[in-house]
């Protein structure tokens, strides 16, 4: 699973590497360019952006090491686990690379608490409950496709880091697990794939409607419980992934508009 995640993140990073290109201009047959409109490519521009959205979590893989009292076999699979959804908010800074439709940006996104619940495998069968909060810092690269009126669809990929914060873990239904495990936090590799559409509201403002699939890595609890004992197995929450939909605004500054018509 770890190798697969690293491979996908590497693919996302490769997609994110791109180069800019200069604009161009041309004369018309024998006529004077002074009298004819010439379409000029923009030298590129930068922008601030702000987003709000919703993150639909996929069920994670949750494991907790137990020992079967009869066979002394270690069991590490949770019988079931689910994660709630959450609102998200984000902001960032990006720049376009001119006429080729390439953009790069640095984006920070925060997701609220997502409750995680499940049931441990036999012999315990105890129910557990905790929560996860995630902050991601991503470098994203986009390719803006052909413009249709004021609409410009795009595709993109991102790679970065996620800071996952796991809350305290409580167990019910097993007297041997009466204590609460302390929470913990962890930095993980993160990657994403994106698609969406931008709508040009004005010369400098673009409405952005986007979808993102994101993998935020994993997190595990502390080994210390509420009694102070430091020898417990941690609860591990892997494959923190989500489908996310966002709406936001991009405020351009510097350079030019995505395209413009200049009269000589």
Average pLDDT, the chain: 83
131 has a pLDDT exceeding 90: yes
Helix and strand tally (H, E) in the chain? 1, 17
pLDDT reported for residue 148:
87
User: Which two three-digit tokens encode residue 25?
Assistant: 């201009």
pLDDT reported for residue 78:
77
Question: Would you say 128 and 120 are in contact if contact means Cβ atoms under 8 Å apart?
Answer: yes
pLDDT reported for residue 255:
63
Question: Would you say 262 and 40 are in contact if contact means Cβ atoms under 8 Å apart?
Answer: yes
Residue at 22 is within a domain: no
50 has a pLDDT exceeding 90: yes
Using DSSP's 3-state secondary structure scheme, residue 56 falls into: strand
Q: For the chain, what is the domain count?
A: 1
Residue at 177 is within a domain: yes
Q: Residue 64 has what DSSP assignment?
A: E
pLDDT confidence bin for 149, thresholds 50/70/90: confident
Give the pLDDT mean for 67-93: 84
pLDDT reported for residue 207:
98
Residue at 40 is within a domain: no
CA-angle at 99, arms to 93 and 101, nearest 5°: 55
Question: Would you say 140 and 108 are in contact if contact means Cβ atoms under 8 Å apart?
Answer: no
User: Which two three-digit tokens encode residue 90?
Assistant: 């984000």
Tell which wins on pLDDT, 159 or 263: 159
1 has a pLDDT exceeding 60: no
Share of the chain above pLDDT 70, in %: 76
Residue at 26 is within a domain: no
Question: Would you say 153 and 199 are in contact if contact means Cβ atoms under 8 Å apart?
Answer: no
User: Which two three-digit tokens encode residue 259?
Assistant: 């395209």
Residue at 220 is within a domain: yes
Backbone angles phi, psi at 154, to 5 degrees: -145, 160
Residue at 69 is within a domain: yes
CATH no. for residue 76?
2.40.160.20
Global pTM reads 0.78
pLDDT reported for residue 249:
97
Residue-wise pLDDT tens digits, 29-42: 344 444 444 333 34
pLDDT reported for residue 8:
52
Residue at 149 is within a domain: yes
pLDDT confidence bin for 208, thresholds 50/70/90: very high
81 has a pLDDT exceeding 50: yes
Give the pLDDT mean for 100-128: 92
Give the pLDDT mean for 152-180: 95
191 has a pLDDT exceeding 50: yes
52 has a pLDDT exceeding 90: yes
Question: Domain of 205?
Answer: 2-13+45-263
pLDDT reported for residue 124:
84
Distance of CA 203 to the CA centre of its chain: 28
Question: Would you say 53 and 247 are in contact if contact means Cβ atoms under 8 Å apart?
Answer: yes
21 has a pLDDT exceeding 90: no
Of 2-16, 124-138, 163-177, 229-243, give the lowest mean pLDDT range: 2-16
Residue at 31 is within a domain: no
């Amino acid at each position: 699973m770890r190798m697969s995640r690293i491979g996908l993140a590497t693919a996302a990073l490769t997609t994110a590497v791109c180069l800019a290109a200069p604009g161009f201009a041309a004369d018309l047959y024998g006529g004077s360019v002074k009298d004819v409109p010439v379409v000029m490519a923009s030298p590129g521009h930068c922008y601030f952006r702000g987003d709000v959205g919703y993150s639909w979590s996929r069920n994670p893989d949750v494991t907790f090491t137990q020992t079967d009292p009869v066979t002394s076999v270690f069991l590490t699979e949770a019988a079931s686990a689910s994660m709630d959804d959450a609102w998200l908010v984000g902001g960032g800074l990006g720049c376009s690379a001119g006429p080729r439709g390439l953009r790069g940006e640095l984006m920070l996104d925060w997701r609220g608490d997502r409750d995680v619940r499940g049931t441990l495998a036999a012999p315990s069968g105890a129910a557990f409950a905790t929560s996860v909060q995630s902050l991601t810092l991503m470098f994203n690269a986009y390719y803006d496709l052909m413009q249709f009126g004021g609409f410009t669809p795009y595709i993109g990929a991102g790679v970065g880091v996620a800071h996952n914060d796991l809350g305290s873990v409580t167990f019910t239904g097993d007297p041997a697990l009466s204590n609460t495990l302390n929470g913990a936090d962890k930095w993980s590799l993160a990657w994403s794939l994106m698609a969406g559409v931008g709508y040009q509201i004005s010369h400098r403002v673009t409405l952005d409607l986007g979808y993102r699939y994101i993998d935020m890595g994993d997190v595990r609890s502390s080994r210390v419980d509420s009694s102070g004992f430091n020898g417990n197995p941690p609860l591990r929450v892997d494959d923190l992934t989500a489908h996310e939909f966002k709406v936001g605004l991009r405020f351009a500054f510097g350079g030019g508009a995505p395209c413009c018509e200049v009269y000589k």
